[in-house]
Amino acid sequence: MIALLTDFGTDDPYVGIVKSVIYSVEKDVEIVDITHNIEPFNILKGAFYLVSSYKYFPRETVFMCVVDPGVGSSRLPIACKYKDYFFVGPMNGIFDMVFEEKPYCVDISNHPYILKPTSNTFHGRDIFAPASAWIHKLKSIDFLGPKVNYQHSLDIPKPVLKDNTIEGSILFYDRFGNAITNVGCTKIKYAIIEDKKIEYFEYFSQAPKNTPGITCGSFGYFEFFINQGSFKEFSHAKSFKLIL
């Protein structure tokens, strides 16, 4: 299985072209879209969505992850093996949250299956898609290039514990306008955001309609929400406190 996570969007033919390149190598592979609608250049959101998704996939899944503002520049295109999965994309932080331990990576900037002529603006098609397809075929990354050390580069805000308070950050919003935070679920009394007290609820519809709440989201992190509304439209605060 090959899973795709990109900022290509679905308005243009970029995703279809990537898939056609993959299918030209591996006729019978299953391709699953995680999402193609990461905001252009929002590497942190891509990294969070990848770490939230990958464990549900079957072993040996190849994750091709391309949120790549530096395409064509000197940032390295890499392929990595980590636990029982493969990861293909630019070394720009997109894999930082998955690689809690040291992964095994190779530099694929000159791999033997690159499409020629190679575009400076669409490495998804020319470098990453054929690499992903061949990894899927051979269940290995060694043939793609020399070993390289993975460098973490993402600046992920960390929650701070002070006395009976956790200071957390809002990382981004999902399609429902829920605010995804950087604080893993734990027992809390309530939250404070912009001096307003926010109650904890077990699930969305437990909160009164149009009332902001905080709950344990499906990623295992706290989320602010408004029952049948959008928290994103209620507040643009980037930080908050949790009272334990």
If one asks whether residue 99 binds its own copies (CB under 8 A), the answer comes out as no
For residue 158, the SS3 value is coil
Q: By CB under 8 A, is residue 53 in contact with its own copies?
A: yes
Q: Which one of 110, 119, 151, 164 is in contact with its own copies (CB under 8 A)? A: 119
* 110, 140, 210, 228: which one binds its own copies (CB under 8 A): 228
CB of 7 to its own copies, least distance (A): 8
**Which residue in this structure is represented by tokens 């600046």?**
155
Rounded least distance, CB 105 to its own copies, Å: 22
Give, as one character, the DSSP assignment of residue 119: P
Sign of CA dihedral 171, 227, 201, 163: positive
User: With 0-12 CB in 10 A as exposed, 13-18 as middle and 19+ as buried, what is 6?
Assistant: buried
Contact between 166 and its own copies by CB under 8 A: the answer reads: no
In contact, 180 and 48? CB cutoff 8 Å: yes
Nearer to its own copies, 11 or 195 (CB): 11
> 154: which 2 tokens?
């993402």
Name the nearest CA neighbour of 4 among 28, 24, 22: 22
| 136 neighbors 61 (Cβ within 8 angstroms) | no
Asked if 199 is part of the footprint of its own copies (rule: CB under 8 A), the reply reads: no
Shortest separation between residue 108's beta carbon and its own copies, angstroms? 17
CB closer to its own copies out of 117 and 149: 117
Angle separating helix axes 129-138 and 14-25, nearest 10 degrees: 30
Binding track, positions 55-94, relative to its own copies; x by CB under 8 A = -xxx--x-------xxxxx---------------------
Residues that bind its own copies (CB under 8 A): 1, 3, 5, 8-17, 19-21, 23-24, 27, 30, 32-37, 40-41, 49, 52-53, 56-58, 61, 69-73, 119-122, 125, 174-176, 202-206, 215-218, 223, 227-228
